[in-house]
Amino acid sequence: MVVSGARQSIRTSPFELCEAFGIFNTDCNRGRSIMLKFLSRRKKLSLSTAGVSLMAAGMAFGYAGEDILSGAPFHHFDISLRALAGDNAIKGRTGGDTFPGIGFSPAAATAIGWHADYIDSYLYSPIWWAEGFSDAGGLADKDNRLKASLAQFHHLERLHFDDLFTVSGVEDTWRRYGGGTLAGLEWAASQNDVAAAYNILGVSVHAVQDFYSHSSFISTEANRNKTWQCSTPSQRRNNLYTGAYETPERAAQHHHGKVSLECSVFRTAQYKQMEDFADIACSGVSPYNQSTFCISYRQCPTGNTNLDVQSVAGRIPSALVLNPKGIALDSSYLAKPGGITRGLLNDNGRFITGKSNNFVSLEQCDLISNFGVSCDEGAAHAQSCPVETTRSCASDHERIFATSKLLATESTAQWVKSIDGYMSVQHPSFWNRVRSGQTKDVSLKSRTQQFEDFSQMPFQFLSAGPYPVNNPRLGTHTFEKSADGWYLRLRLKTADKQGAGTDADIIASVKSSAGTQDFTLDYMPIGSNASTSLALTSVQSDTPMGRALAYNDFERGDNDVYTIGPIKGAPISLTLKSKAATTGDAVEAVFNDVGEKIKNFFDPSKLAVNFGSIEDVVGNDVKTINFSELRGASNKTYTLVGDGKSEGKYSISVKITDKGTSGLDNQTKAAGHRNFEIVPQSLKVIRESDVDGFLSDSDEPFAFGSFTAFNGSLTQQEQFVHFPVKIRVRPQLKDQSFSYKMDPVNDGMDSGDVKSLTWPTLTATLAPNGAVVLAAAFFESDEETDADRNRSFNNFVTGVEKAEPAPFSKSLSTIGSAAGSEWALAEIDVYGFYRSDVVKTKSLYSSRQGWTIPGNGTRTFRLNTSAPRTIGRVDDIFKWTKGSISTLSGGAEICGGPQSAQFSQNENTVSDQFSRTENAALSGYNDKTFNNYTVAQCQSACLNEKSFYCKSFDYGKETGRCDLSKNDASGKTSLKRDYPGNPYDHYKRVSKASQAAIAEKFSHTRNAALSGYNHKSFSNYTVAQCQSACVNEDSFYCKSIDYNKNTGQCDLSKNDASAGLSLSTDYPGNPYDHYKRLSK
């Protein structure tokens, strides 16, 4: 096992970043050999590896490790292991039985915890990708890990409770994960695939755990002692959202938070000494204002955004910088800026007055956080949890983190316990294998295959469909109301024979009761127009690295799964269409690729580096104009704009006119070619530089321009003779492209000024599938010499030349699609599942018959239209309803338990001073009311009320309403017990003397119980509550109680150990104590 949890948001070459930062220079030179070395969590990581693990321009974490490199612990793994197997079941545990688990074996819990942890590694960890090349536990195809990670990116990124900005969006996502988990486990059981079940459970509990770190849930005081599953509607919905991560931040209340490595480097001690220099060097009047150094420096925040992270032998920055800050609570050190962003902590990391309520204590924090303990698996999957460091909780932000982790652990246990209730009844034999963790099911290879084998990918049961949903509408971003509907899991195996594969696009067309919908089956489409999955741009794909990374669907012998939907109605038939490209498509792809490459070269962040100049870079613009758009044009104006903010904003206008076919030979005319006149018009100052003329008279604009014809030719007209403005002309590729240089205007230009360009008029002769690319780069003169400008111009021309392809030499995927389009399909499986409030599943089609689908041909499969298997309502199975706690049998068991009994500061905080009467209230005697309170808050309010002596309160179980009263149910006042739906519980205040008197009425027998004679039960009670309930029971005379020390269950009985009855003393683990009532 290796470094995981580091959610690196930019997938770029770690070697380039390593060298760019210049920190790990010695090991950078070792590059690939180090990256390919198999690493393990149990081994010390090399300097290079430590650097690469952080070498992405932005990072975020999802319950990451306390130590970035060694964990201690890795929290997702730790949470899952302790919630499912429990501390006592883990070999070498520390801290005692803090979490007892729910009966899963350590091996099973380890397998689930591995998936919960490693989903982040597949998303963002270059180290884990590189390990795939070593084939240590992976597949025979050694580049599959990296390809699978990239191809599945958009599926995996949807499993973290990120980017949800409305309450309804959060609630729908809980239901999405629940429904997807149930549907996936139904499929896994049908396949008898335990390893797939571990993947489904692992990614689902990862999402559940992330909710408490990534959402605003615990920012609300009432939510800190109940999980989401066990909270009231008002508690759940109180200002609930999650942080922005993959979607634009401007629509979000807060960001999740990302670590910026560039900013971290700038904040190291060495760079800190240069800060004053950098402030001056990067000011608006500095010649270095637009350098790469200054661009990066200005993007880095000032103020308290550092994270206190342990360094490795001082070799990596000891303080990482968040840019932007966010609300994430993924580790104790992230909880500090997270608490500040949430408004819980001041800038010094201390609780703001009134914000510390209901967070766990420092003593509890130590038990929950498990600092320094790195559980890992040894031989035969036995657990080992050595203490690598020792550290205790000592700060307020650690209490916030521990509270989040406690709820995540409780919620994980409740989530899987709910699933256990369903699966143990419906699939008992299969589920027993899941719980027990047999060796063949928990191997490392069986785990990695779920992510890396394209015929598996079971996590798609949860991830398929639009995400996020119900967010506010934002600009051009698609608004997704819901991800509900039918989904098809398609497994398509291409025949393993020569010529069986295809480069054509494969379209899945689904006919349903609501119409027909088309889905493109393509994990990594190439090109700027790709709209599905993770697209490589043509620039990226047209490199050796890009071609190595791109996943090519439907190759010989491929066995791939695609999950498509949502489908609006019940599926009736599936048609697979082979859409082959034409030669015209291939040619169009060529010039679209070139346009992308030019844009990439002209990226503003690269201009200063590419040009190597000292003049101020303002900006650039590139336009690709197709033949069809140009046809019929008459003096149509195209404008190229460069906006350099403080450096000014400038534009160049170009007019293009369709000149028809004059001068073309008959053969060229017959082929559809036409002439287009291109006339460069003028340079305009839209907004001059803020510092124009302040320190220098030379701050005036100049520009470079490039004109390129694709699938055609470009010529200069003969009148190009004399030019009042200095220019340089340099043709690169004969009859295809020309570039021009305009020197600064000596007489100055101000805002609104326009200067005519005397660049020559050009004629482009284009085929019907041709195009023209216009490009311009804008600069501010800044005391540079003519030689400096010439050097920049030469670099500009070189950059354009690098983007020019020889016709038909690139865009190989499109050209290949035109050539190899016939597809031999050997096997097909179609599994349907309906994911909404109700979950349904069924097998729709399966065959090994084999078919050949020609280019632009189709094959239709009629699907099984019989009634599906209805799993049930998600809310019922998970013991919640839409916005409320379920009252179904078992709900109390799911929401009670040892974690709540030990840590939650609700009933147990002050509950010994109250006796509770369920389903009753003191009608008409409310003297003070609070809303959205927990029971603990209501009890505290009663005890601390100063305006009158509070004798009792009524608590609204669904609403959180708290009604304090000067009265109680004594004398002439009685409780009302006939409210519809029984929404209230009544709590009567009991003096300490009364508590002592009640306790004296019972004799105590340890480790014993009266088996088979329980007549009334309560959950999550203290001993004092249980004794009080017995004394105050009015439906029968209570003679004894059995009390479960682990769960807080209180069982009242009409009987005691007399009249022939005896106590049982042989319960495993001795969970019970028996209390016999001594007198009436």
Tokens at residue 143, please? 């580049």
Question: How far is the first Cα of the chain from the last one, in angstroms, to the nearest whole number?
Answer: 62
Residue 60 burial (C-beta neighbours within 10 Å; 0-12, 13-18, 19+): buried
Q: What angle do CA 563, 565, 569 make, to 5 degrees?
A: 135
Q: Which helix (H) or strand (E) holds 450?
A: helix 444-452
- The C-alpha atoms of residue 1067 and residue 554 are separated, in whole angstroms, by 58
- The C-alpha atoms of residue 451 and residue 457 are separated, in whole angstroms, by 6
Question: What is the DSSP annotation of 721-733?
Answer: ---SS-EEEEE-S
Sign of the C-alpha dihedral computed for residues 880, 883, 884 and 885 taken in this order:
positive
- In this predicted structure, what is the pLDDT of residue 401? 94
Q: Which of 202, 175, 186, 238 has the alpha carbon at shortest distance from 467?
A: 175
- In this predicted structure, what is the pLDDT of residue 903? 45
864 CB neighbour count, 10 Å cutoff: 15
Same fold, 485-580+820-867 and 881-1077: no
Question: Long-range contact list for 128-134, CB < 8 A, 24+ apart?
Answer: 128/2, 128/3, 128/4, 130/35, 130/36, 130/52, 131/2, 131/38, 131/39, 132/452, 133/35, 133/36, 134/36, 134/37, 134/38
- The C-alpha atoms of residue 765 and residue 662 are separated, in whole angstroms, by 11
Which one-letter amino acid corresponds to residue 372?
Answer: G
| Torsion angle of C-alpha atoms 99, 102, 103, 108, degrees rounded to 10 | -90
Residues facing 117 on adjacent strands: none
Q: Which helix (H) or strand (E) holds 870?
A: strand 869-873
Q: Where are the alpha helices (DSSP H) in 143-193?
A: 144-151, 153-156, 167-191
- In this predicted structure, what is the pLDDT of residue 757? 87
DSSP β-ladder status, 319-322 and 259-260: antiparallel
Q: Where are the alpha helices (DSSP H) in 481-582?
A: 538-541, 544-549
User: Homologous superfamily of 881-1077 in CATH?
Assistant: Hepatocyte Growth Factor (3.50.4.10)
- The C-alpha atoms of residue 973 and residue 988 are separated, in whole angstroms, by 13
Within 8 A by CB and 6+ apart from 11, the residues are 56, 124, 150, 153
Q: Give whole-number Cα distances, 430 to 122, 392, 438, in Å.
A: 28, 42, 12
Instruction: For the chain, give every domain's residue range.
Output: 6-48+71-258+324-463, 261-323, 485-580+820-867, 586-814, 881-1077
The class (CATH top level) of 485-580+820-867 is mainly beta
Q: What is the mean pLDDT of each run of 10 residues along the chain (1080 residues)?
A: 30 32 30 27 34 39 67 88 84 61 90 93 80 59 74 91 90 95 97 97 97 94 88 78 76 77 62 62 62 64 55 44 82 90 90 90 85 63 60 88 94 94 92 89 88 95 93 63 94 94 91 95 57 40 47 88 96 93 53 51 43 60 86 93 81 95 90 93 86 52 83 69 39 61 77 88 86 84 73 63 38 46 93 96 96 93 94 85 33 47 40 79 91 80 84 88 89 82 88 68 89 85 82 83 86 86 87 85
| Collapsed DSSP state (helix, strand, coil) of residue 1007 | coil
